[in-house]
Amino acid sequence: MLDQIQTLLEDIKAEYLRYTSRNGTKELSDINKRMIAEFNEGLEYSVGQKYVKIMSNRSVWGFVVKGDNDKKFRKGDILKAAGWNAPARNAARGNIVDGGYSICWTGPHYLK
């Protein structure tokens, strides 16, 4: 599952690059390049008992369900953050094991 977490982190970085460069239509200035480097360096995760917390520059990006023992969610489900230590448990925003999730550099997308 740590491989899928790394893939998720790379997808978040790619979304930030896409946002910063306006889908590749804008040439990156030195400031943009520095901002991208700082964003990428600030993207990290920590493994807890039930969830993997994804953090972006000391803010919670979201959570990933760590195990198969959750009654509502499957292993790899992406959850929005309800706060620093807890996910919003209303619905999964995708699954890193199955792929096909929809994210933004600011966090998992809202439900439709």
pTM of structure: 0.93
Q: Taking the domains of the chain in order of start, what are their residue ranges? A: 2-108
How far, CA to CA in Å, does 77 sit from each of 9, 84, 112? 15, 18, 17
Q: Output the six-digit token pair for 88.
A: 């919003």
> Is beta strand 78-79 parallel, antiparallel or unpaired with respect to 59-65?
antiparallel
Q: What is the model's pLDDT at position 47? A: 97
**Which value, to the nearest 10 degrees, does the dihedral of the CA atoms of residues 30, 104, 44, 51 take?**
180
Q: Give me the percent of the chain exceeding a pLDDT of 70.
A: 99
Separation CA 26–CA 15 (nearest Å): 15
How is the beta sheet containing 78-79 ordered, strand by strand?
A: 43-47, 51-56, 59-65, 78-79
| Among 17, 8, 12, residue whose Cα is nearest residue 64 | 8
112 pLDDT more than 70 = no
| Mean pLDDT, residues 5-13 | 97
Q: Which helix (H) or strand (E) holds 12?
A: helix 2-20
Note the pLDDT tens digit of each residue in 20-60: 998 878 889 999 999 999 999 999 999 999 999 999 999 99
Of all residues in the chain, the percent with pLDDT exceeding 90 is 88
